[in-house]
Amino acid sequence: MMINNFFLLLRQELVITAIIFILLFIKLGKDKSNESLLHIINVLLFINLLIGFFPMMEGGLFNSMFATNKLVVLEKNILNFAFWIISLQSYSWLKTHKHVIEFYILLLSSLLGMFFLLSSDHLLMFYVGLEMSTIPLAAAANFDLTKRQSSEAALKLIISSAFSSSLLLLGISFLYGTTGTLILSDIGSHLSYNPLQIFAFILFISGFAFKISAVPFHLWTADVYEGAPIAVTAFLSVLSKSAVLFAFISILYKAFASLSSMWYLVLIVLSMATIVIGNLFALRQENMKRFLAFSSIAQVGFILIGISGSSHQGSSSLIYFILIYVFSNLAAFGVLSLVSALTGKESIQDFKGFYKNNPTLSWVLTIALFSLAGVPPTAGFFGKLFLLMAGAAKGNYWIIAIAALNMVISFYYYLRVVKAIFMDENDQPIEKLSIPIYPKIAMFICIAGIILTGFLTVVYDYINSLSISL
Amino acid sequence: MNLSLLILLPIITAMAILFSNGLKQIRVIGLLGSIAQLGLASWLLKLYLNERAIGNTATYLFESNYPWFSALHINYHIGIDGISLAMILLTSLIVVAGILVSWTMDKLSKEYFFLLVLLSMGAYGFFISLDLFTLFFFLEVAVIPKFLLIGIWGSGNKQNSAMKLALMLMAGSALVFVGLMGIYYNTHTFDIVQITQIGISAGVQQFFFPFAFIGFGIFAALFPFHTWVPDGHASAPTAASMFLAGISMKLGGYGCLRIASLMPDAAHHYAWIIILLATIAIIYGAFATMMQTDLKYINAYSSISHCGFVILGIGMMNKTSINGAVIQMVSHGLMTALFFAAIGMIYSRTHTRMIAQLGGLLKAMPFISTVFVIAGLCSLGLPGFSGFVAEMTVFMGSWQNPNGVYRLATIISGASIVVTAVYILRATGKTIMGPISNEHALLGDATWNEKFAAALLITGIVIIGIAPFLLNALIGPGTDNIMLQVGKAITLK
């Protein structure tokens, strides 16, 4: 029985571990061509994704350090899906790369870390998961071995994540000192507005703010995103961020529920700063990766507003938004990674006149950007509005007004790229690029997701039925 | 009839356009689709009149209500009253005319027609929505096609105009959104019918009314948020200008009207500001037009002035003035679309829109010149055309308001007609009359598609001008219902 439970509850983690082992064995065996390797890996990842959709039981393991339920499984499935898409999209880049297997092993270990992070019901498990999800990324960020910027990105990532982890650890120790427990579901009942606990909470939230790059803890983001290879940037900005946000909301709503009036204020301040600063910096970016980095900072600001409503609606709109964010951001990164792999061009200037030779890619990028901006009929519209609606539940309409007007500012920089693609003249636009089959599948799925998610209300209803509330 | 057909038909047309090739195929599909829309709208009119004739007095007809995001109380709730039907008819007329004048658009024609059809889809969806969320959704759906239409196919400083237009309209919808949030969290529904039943307390109304009204006002060129109008209209390609002035600005006017009827207390409370802004827009727009030398700018600035009458009518809040506002919306839509179509026809032949470089066009292109004159005369309010009926109704409604200051506003707005006459007569005179330059003398007259487009719009203008009671009877029950809300609010006080 025990063994059965072990295999059933840890199913997703075990599959990923198995894939890592398979990759190791392939590495030890005789050399295979990159292409056949990528076929195998993409199929394995697809199987991994499928396995997550089988019905799952709920329960805990290891003295309830590890807990899983339907919501956690859903979150893991979203992450699995995003990882599969990233893998499909990096096909063109990895085809000629020397270290395909190492790349996948690093990212899969990070994904495994995220899974433990999401399932953690104990602060130690939480910390181990978080570290496991960030440390391999530093190595992955350095994967363009010949680029100096890439090593710089890796160093920045490891230092800033070490710093934020130490803040988190300090917070955890204070929490342990004042409450006497590390089990997340027990902490709540021991919390009062004791100054040391508040201090611990502040440390905790700063650590988190680092990981999701909320202003003023965002300074590492742009450089790391710019320096890392696009696949890693996509992984950082979609998977890492989503995983940490999922963990964040469950800790806030479960463990820190009794401090809600306190973190409500903190979140409002953080979100306003994040939206405004993120937007202002995004306005002037010339490099597409930096541009997406800053725009994703602004997106986090919107997410924080949604969380601050501290309701059932807040958590379901967060998960819904992240699902849509996965579709839209990965569609954008998909086009970027293809263009960058085939031409090496990454600046907005290079995209001038892009529509002339690459209409399909242009529309994919445009629809993705519209979805990020929150324009109907794309799903991004619903995602963003539901976050703002959740935020407005507490009656702070001025905050919502500021956020809504900031959507207009963000609109400017998204439209700037659209303008470059469709309207600007260019003597030497990017030539016609042929799209390999894997990126094509990935883009198709993303675009279908962007267009359909808003109208298939089943998705929202399902998420809503699972969400936690205060 | 299921009103969703009005949304479905443009979607099908757009899909068909996506899967067709070559200008010839695309434009035929676009035309067929838009004629089907017009047919559907006329059929709807017939059904609507039948229902009313047999004594159906429900506020909204052909209602259907499907849950969309039921957890958030968002429904896809649609239905029409006379006012929305008038707007739907207007939209379908302009869409046909717009497709016809774009007959020879050979630059990226697939994308062009696709976006035009998408824009019309947004407008139909907006006018049939009875749920504020759905309404808001369609309001924003109509913004992006405008940005692309102006930016890609426009002329002059098109990129800046497109950006300015998109950002200002998005700012408008952001404000609308805040207003909607206020309504939602005080009534726990987005449903217009339910909100009217529940009612919103006066304090809440006064806080959120400005957001929603200014938001929609930006779409309707409310002073001082009108600055997107001249640049946007002037840079847009002909059909897009027609859609902008004829359809998009009506989204704003219609939205303002709905907001005023949902929050009548606040509408009364802020009436003086609305009337003040409307009067300024009317006068400012008229005088600014006098200074323009570009035909499109003339029409764009005069639109600001004419849309001021819509806002003025709404601000006065009585049956006649609101009737007038609605008639003015329809009339202005048809008239400006005709004007822009005529300007487009002239521009495509002479390649200039500057009055100074034009003259004596009547000799070379009699049909186009006649159309131009008719549009001008309608704009200055000549009896027999719709402009006269509309402005007259607004003035009569405004005058019913016994407040002295409001009467002063009415008089000042009325005086603007003189200014209108000056700029219209000057522009038409200089363009049509006088000597013609040699290079213009050989240019050909309108082609069949252009003639058909103009004839369609002129028919609308003349029908309203000669038999205004038809339109009045159509929108009457709708305005009665709005007045009922307003009356409730007054008696509550």
Encode chain A (470 residues) as per-residue pLDDT tens digits. 567 777 777 888 888 999 999 988 888 887 778 888 888 888 888 988 888 888 777 777 777 788 888 888 899 999 999 999 999 998 888 888 888 888 899 999 999 999 999 988 888 889 999 999 989 988 888 887 778 888 888 888 888 888 889 999 999 999 888 888 888 888 888 887 788 888 888 898 888 888 888 888 888 888 888 888 888 989 998 999 999 999 988 888 888 888 878 888 888 899 999 999 889 888 888 888 888 888 888 899 999 998 887 678 888 899 999 999 999 999 999 998 889 888 888 888 888 888 888 889 999 999 999 999 988 889 999 999 999 988 888 878 888 889 988 999 999 999 999 999 988 888 888 888 888 888 899 999 999 999 998 888 888 888 888 877 65
| Owning domain of residue B202 | 5-492
Nearest CB among A316, A382, A408 relative to B171 is that of A408
Q: What is the ipTM of this complex?
A: 0.90
Chain A residues near any Cβ of chain B (below 8 Å): 313, 316, 370, 375-377, 381-382, 385-386, 388-389, 392-393, 395, 397, 400-401, 404-405, 407-408, 411-412, 415, 418-419, 422-424, 457, 460-461, 464
The number of folded domains in chain B is 1
Which DSSP string do the residues of A352-368 spell out, in sequence order? Answer: TTHHHH-HHHHHHHHHH
Residues paired with B75 in a beta bridge:
B67
Go through chain B and tell me how many residues it has.
Answer: 493
Contacts of A415 in chain B (CB under 8 A): 147, 163, 166-167
Q: Distance, in angstroms, between B162 CA and closest chain A CA?
A: 9
Contacts of A458 in chain B (CB under 8 A): none
Q: Which residue has the tokens 């405008």?
A: B146
d(CA B91, CA B243): 8
CB contact (8 A) between residue A381 and residue B175: no
Q: Which residue has the tokens 């019918």?
A: B193
B490 pLDDT more than 70: no
Nearest CB among B68, B140, B207 relative to A376 is that of B140
Helices B228-235, B143-153: axis angle to 10 degrees equals 50
d(CA B355, CA B294): 6
Find, among A419, A405, A339, A323, the residue nearest to A371 by Cα: A323
Contacts of A414 in chain B (CB under 8 A): none
Contacts of A389 in chain B (CB under 8 A): 72, 181, 184
- A383 touches A317 (CB < 8 A): yes
Contacts of A362 in chain B (CB under 8 A): none
Contacts of A388 in chain B (CB under 8 A): 177, 181
Q: What is the pLDDT of residue A285?
A: 86
Q: Distance, in angstroms, between A389 CA and closest chain B CA?
A: 7
Nearest CB among B167, B184, B208 relative to A412 is that of B167
Nearest CB among B72, B148, B170 relative to A408 is that of B170
The residue of chain B nearest to residue A398, with distances taken between CA atoms, is B178
d(CA B166, CA A312): 34
CB contact (8 A) between residue A423 and residue B170: no
CB contact (8 A) between residue A405 and residue B70: no
Q: Distance, in angstroms, between B486 CA and closest chain A CA?
A: 26
Contacts of A393 in chain B (CB under 8 A): 185
Work out how many CB contacts closer than 8 A connect A with B. Answer: 87
The residue of chain A nearest to residue B212, with distances taken between CA atoms, is A401
b/e burial code for range A381-400 (CB count within 10 A of at least 16 → b):
bbbbbbbbbbbbbbebbebb
CB contact (8 A) between residue B181 and residue A388: yes
Nearest CB among B141, B151, B177 relative to A377 is that of B141
d(CA B249, CA B380): 19
Find, among A190, A168, A34, the residue nearest to A104 by Cα: A34
Burial of B382 (C-beta count, 10 Å sphere; 0-12/13-18/19+): middle
* Local structure of residue B131 (DSSP, 8 states): B
Q: Which residue has the tokens 């697809």?
A: A46
Q: How many CB atoms sit inside 10 A of residue A176's CB?
A: 15
CB contact (8 A) between residue B184 and residue A393: no
* Local structure of residue B70 (DSSP, 8 states): G
d(CA B58, CA B51): 10
Nearest CB among B72, B163, B177 relative to A404 is that of B177
